[in-house]
């Protein structure tokens, strides 16, 4: 669909919304292209390219929402969908006891384009499949490896957002990632190790700059070492967590509880609520003074840095936890006024044209400290160093969590010694973050993206990036990775 055709469709729809007497309306037209190449056990198992086009119209009528969407992009369908969204909003209004009032936001007219050196869709397929096949060959060179997988993923979103308040925003956004996994068997057990590039908004240079072949050899060797490694005794250990591992810990135990819609009960029936209830803002000690968690949707290349969110609110940077005290939420235009904030933080995002935008975790990251990684190890007598993601589970208010990891090494008398397996640690969120006594410096900072963050009914996948340097946590409860007999 050409740009004038998209504008015509948007205008048609929003005219209907305005004529209905609705106080607000917007339309998102999205054209997404996704390419997924998946390798498994030395073969290319699938190459899929998906074109996903459609539009969604949101209407706020007498303080209540309606939303309708369609993959049929036509001048006949646009008014039908607009009318349906209006009708639905009127139905919602019939049960509305508290009317939605949106926080003010200036009208924006802008265009946002992901900076890229190499368009991932311009890179030859043969180049990509050859990379994955060679990567898997490197994995299988390691004796003891029985399975491998490798994949590349790229997504381009071309989006137009137009609102009845006068905003008109165009987006041309890229995101991509690559990964490789190795699985080894030993003595009736099996274990995997993985390497992932972060999901970032970049061009194919992200893949070219990641050394897949070297990483394949490294993880294959570590998978074999891992499956043969001894277990550890349960007990209290000091933990040193790498940035990739911390990205998940932060996501689950800080990101989700800082979503204001959860704190206000919007997700009570599915994703859950939050222990960070609104009266705690500004006073609750979430972590030690070493813990500074900053939401930054302005950092280039990160997934939530899209210029504007799906409310048409400009991306921002703000504190979630400052010097260990919980101070801020992720918000949208609907929920921000409910805690007396005059402007949304710009964290309202939908995962497709067919989904209604909801509050999403921002790019929340742990601010660097002053230590080196060796410093973190040096002050540990008996501890465990954890890299990567493993098993994870957390209660619906985000208190009680349990995390595994992808690789574990024992730390003894200040030195990282040998690998161990089946490590799982358990904690209560504020107790865990209060046990943080050191964070490594900016040179250790790494970013990791998430594209499968589940929330909402119907379910949606949220995208965001979490950055951290390595950090140390004292006396954490480590339990075994088996339920015993």
Partner 1 sequence: MSTTGHKTWPKLTSRDEFRFISEQMLKRSTGDHTVVTLHDRHNGTTRFANSQIVQNVDTRCGSLTVTVTFGQRHGTASTTDFTAGAVQEIVSRATEIACLSPEDPEYLPPVEPQSYLTPPAARVETALAGPARRLEYTNEAIGQCRMENLGAAGIVSSSVATVGVAASTGLFAYEERTDARFSLTAQAGEATGWAAAAHRSIDHLKVQERTLTAIAKAKRGLELCELPPGRYTVILEPAAVAGLWSSLLWMLDAKSYEKGTSAFSGKLGRLIVDKRLTLCNLPAHEDLLGVGFTAEGLPTVVSDWITDGALKQLSYDRFTAKAGGIDRIPTLDAPCLSGRGAPLPTLQDMIKHVERAILVTNFWYIRTVNPTDLTLTGMTRDGTFLVENGVIVSAVKNFRFHESPLRAFNRVEAFTNPAEAITSETGKFLVPAMTLSDFNFSSVTRF
Using CB under 8 A as the binding rule, the residues of this chain from 452 to 471 that contact partner 1 are: 456-458
Counting contacts by CB under 8 A, is residue 481 touching partner 1?
A: yes
Q: Binding segment for partner 1 among 2-10, 119-127, 154-162, 308-316 (CB under 8 A)? A: 119-127
- Shorter beta-carbon distance to partner 1: residue 93 or 440: 93
User: What character string, x for contact with partner 1 (CB under 8 A) and - otherwise, covers 307-336?
Assistant: ------------------------------
**122 near partner 1, rule: CB under 8 A:** no
Rounded to a whole number of angstroms, the minimum distance from the CB of residue 273 to partner 1 is 9
By CB under 8 A, tell whether 89 contacts partner 1: yes
Q: State how far Cα 162 lies from the chain centre.
A: 26
Query: What is the Cα–Cα distance from 295 to 328, expressed in whole angstroms?
Result: 9
Query: Which one, of 371, 383, 441, lies nearest residue 416 by Cα?
Result: 383
Query: Among residue numbers 333 through 372, which ones bind partner 1 (CB under 8 A)?
Result: 354-356, 358
Angle at the Cα of 388 (from 206 to 396), degrees rounded to 5?
110
Among 288, 298, 316, 400, binds partner 1 (CB under 8 A): 400
Q: Is 2 a residue that touches partner 1 (CB under 8 A)?
A: no
Candidate list 198, 255, 272, 405; residue touching partner 1; CB under 8 A: 272
- Rounded to whole angstroms, how far apart are CA atoms 316 and 341? 14
Peptide bond into 454 cis (omega under 30): no
Work out whether 143 is an interface residue with partner 1 (CB under 8 A).
Answer: no
Residues 159-188 that bind partner 1 (CB under 8 A): 183, 185, 188
Residue 429 Cβ, how far from partner 1 at the closest point, in Å? 10
The interface with partner 1 within residues 232-271 (CB under 8 A) comprises 264-270
CB of 141 to partner 1, least distance (A): 18
- Residue 159 contacts residue 30 (beta carbons within 8 Å): yes
Contacting partner 1 (CB under 8 A), which of 16, 147, 322, 466?
147
Quick check: 284 binds partner 1 (CB under 8 A)?
A: no
- Cα-to-chain-centroid distance, residue 367: 18
Q: Which residues pair with 200 in a beta bridge?
A: 176
**Smallest separation (angstroms) from partner 1 to the CB of 457:** 5
Question: In whole angstroms, what separates CA 85 from the centre of its chain?
Answer: 29
Q: Does the footprint of partner 1 cover residue 402 (CB under 8 A)?
A: yes
Q: Are strands 168-186 and 109-113 parallel, antiparallel or unpaired?
A: parallel
Give the full edge-to-edge strand order of the sheet including 293-296.
Answer: 325-326, 317-322, 293-296, 364-366
The closest alpha carbon to 426, from 201, 221, 253, 169, belongs to 253
Site for partner 1 contains 50 (CB under 8 A): yes
Total chain residues near partner 1 (CB under 8 A): 85
Among 124, 209, 233, 342, binds partner 1 (CB under 8 A): 124
Q: Should residue 422 be labelled a site residue for partner 1 when binding is judged by CB under 8 A?
A: yes
- In whole angstroms, how close is the CB of 47 to partner 1 at the nearest point? 5
**Opening angle at CA 394, ends 38 and 338, nearest 5:** 105
Q: Is 94 in the site for partner 1 (CB under 8 A)?
A: yes
Interface residue with partner 1, options 8, 83, 87, 208 (CB under 8 A): 87
Contacts of 404-408 spanning 24+ positions with Cβ under 8 A: 404/481, 405/245, 406/192, 406/193, 406/194, 406/244, 406/245, 407/193, 407/222, 407/226, 408/226, 408/229, 408/232, 408/384
What whole-number distance in Å separates Cα of residue 363 and Cα of residue 379? 31
């Amino acid at each position: 669909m050409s740009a004038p055709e998209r504008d015509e469709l948007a205008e048609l729809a929003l005219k209907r919304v305005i004529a209905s007497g609705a106080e607000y309306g917007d339309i998102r037209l999205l054209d997404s292209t996704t390419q997924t190449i998946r390798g498994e056990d030395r073969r290319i198992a699938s190459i899929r390219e998906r074109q996903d086009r459609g539009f969604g119209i949101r209407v706020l009528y007498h303080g209540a929402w309606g939303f309708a969407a369609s993959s049929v992009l036509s001048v006949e369908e646009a008014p039908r969908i607009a009318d349906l969204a209006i009708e639905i909003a009127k139905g919602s209004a019939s049960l509305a006891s508290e009317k939605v009032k949106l926080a003010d936001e200036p009208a924006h007219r802008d265009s946002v384009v992901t900076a890229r050196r190499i368009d991932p869709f311009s890179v030859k397929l043969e180049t990509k499949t050859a990379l994955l096949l060679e990567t898997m060959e490197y994995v299988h060179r390691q004796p003891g490896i029985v399975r491998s997988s490798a994949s590349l993923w790229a997504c381009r979103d071309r989006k137009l957002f137009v609102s009845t308040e006068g905003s008109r925003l165009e987006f041309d956004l890229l995101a991509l990632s690559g990964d490789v996994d190795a699985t080894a068997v030993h003595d009736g057990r099996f274990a995997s190790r993985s390497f992932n590039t972060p999901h970032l908004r970049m061009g194919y240079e992200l893949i070219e700059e990641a050394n897949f072949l070297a990483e394949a050899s490294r993880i294959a060797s570590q998978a074999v070492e891992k499956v043969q490694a001894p277990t550890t005794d349960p007990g209290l250990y000091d933990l040193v967590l790498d940035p990739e591992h911390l990205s998940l810990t932060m996501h689950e135990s800080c990101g989700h509880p800082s979503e204001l819609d959860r704190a206000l009960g919007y997700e009570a029936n599915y994703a859950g609520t939050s222990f960070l209830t609104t009266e705690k803002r500004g006073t609750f000690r979430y972590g030690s003074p070493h813990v500074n968690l900053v939401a930054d949707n302005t950092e280039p290349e990160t997934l939530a840095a899209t210029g504007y969110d799906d409310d048409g609110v400009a991306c921002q940077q703000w504190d979630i936890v400052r010097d260990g005290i919980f101070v801020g939420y992720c918000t949208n235009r609907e929920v921000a006024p409910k805690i007396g904030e005059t402007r949304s933080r710009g964290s309202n995002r939908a995962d497709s044209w067919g989904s209604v935008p909801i509050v999403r975790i921002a790019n929340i990251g742990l601010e660097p400290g002053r230590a080196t990684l060796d410093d973190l190890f040096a002050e540990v007598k008996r501890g465990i160093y954890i890299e990567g993601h493993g098993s994870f589970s957390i209660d619906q208010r985000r208190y009680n969590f349990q995390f595994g990891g992808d690789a574990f090494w024992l730390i003894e008398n200040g030195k990282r010694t040998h690998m161990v397996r089946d490590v799982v640690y358990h904690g209560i969120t504020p107790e865990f973050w209060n046990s943080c006594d050191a964070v490594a410096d900016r040179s250790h900072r790494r970013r990791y993206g998430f594209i499968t963050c589940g929330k909402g009914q119907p379910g949606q996948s949220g995208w965001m990036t979490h950055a951290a340097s390595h950090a140390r946590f004292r006396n954490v409860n480590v339990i075994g990775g088996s339920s015993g007999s």
